[in-house]
Amino acid sequence: MENLGVKMKMGVPARIFAILLKVSPSPVQNKLWKWWYQKLSKAHNKKDFRFMNYGYIDSNPPSLESFDEPYRIFIQLYEMNIRNVELHDKKVLEVGSGRGGGASWIARSMNPSSLIGVDFSGEAVSLSNEWYNKQENLNFIEGNAEDLPFPDSSFDIVYNVESSHCYGNMSKFIDETFRVLRPGGNFCWTDFRDDKTMKLTNQLFLDSGFKIISKREVTEEVLQALDLINDAKKERIGELVPKTIRRSFETFAGIEGTPVYEAFKNQKLKYFCYQMVK
């Protein structure tokens, strides 16, 4: 949990939030993160703001429909995370589905039999179900990553994109992911950590019973994406986000000069991608 304070610094609300996270036990941390995401969702409910990840620059970019092109950089992070797994006709779960943009693209493009997005922000879930209600193989529900509301062996594939750094108990999340996967099922995970925390996270994957098929660092590709869209993202935040949380939102979005951006730049934080199997 050491990287949480880095991501949320800057601006009085975010500084207070970071301090509370550091001194709070796991259940309280989860409630704090839920409050924060609810606040973000209420502050900005525009449909054109469908993604919350940092993006990814791909040397072998996927083909996209014209209406997906404005979101290419963000979609590429999702595609990179799942590209070595077959989703066609599979039962798929996204843990931490946010505003639903990634799940919507995967449900349309990869044709799983069903895709459920679970998120602990009721506001985000409501918006996602409203925006994507015409996709028959896609649904969003409110739920806790550390106590997933599904029976054992429910899914063929679980994926998680830039969300788990918010969880109060990473071990519980990994154990829950293992539980809801069918034997032979795939877990695709991508997120950022400092070196010490990543070493511990890697061990948690192994301790839970997962076999690590592949792992790699993708910090440079994520940083390139942040650089490419920095000015446009900052301008968009200025247009759409209330002044009271604008600086905190810029930090959350990884705008140049904010602590999370600088941590990527100086390698204090690194971005990773794992594919695992049960």
What are the distances in angstroms from CA 105 to CA 97, 181, 196, 236, 269? 12, 22, 33, 22, 28
Residue 5 has pLDDT above 70, yes or no: no
Token pair in block for residue 41: 């969702």
Higher-pLDDT residue of 270 and 25 is: 270
Distance CA(183)–CA(202), nearest Å, equals: 20
Structure confidence by residue, pLDDT tens digits, 115-156? 999 998 888 899 899 999 999 999 999 999 999 999 999 999
Give the side-chain half-sphere CA count within 13 A for 273. Answer: 17
For residue 81, pLDDT over 90 is answered with yes
Confidence class of residue 27 from pLDDT cuts 50, 70 and 90?
low
Domains of the chain: 4-277 (3.40.50.150)
CB 112 within 8 A of CB 188: no
* Phi-psi map region of 178: left, alpha, beta (phi>0 left; psi -120 to 50 alpha): alpha
Q: Buried b vs exposed e over 85-113: b needs ≥16 C-beta within 10 Å?
A: bebeebbbbbbbbbbbbbbbbbbebbebe
Strands 181-193 and 270-277: antiparallel
Ranking 45-49, 175-179, 250-254 by mean pLDDT, the lowest is 45-49
Query: Average model confidence (pLDDT) for the chain?
Result: 85
Q: What would the two tokens of residue 150 be?
A: 């599904």
The per-residue pLDDT for 250 is 80
Among the residue ranges 51-60, 69-78, 194-203, 233-242, the one predicted with the least confidence is 233-242
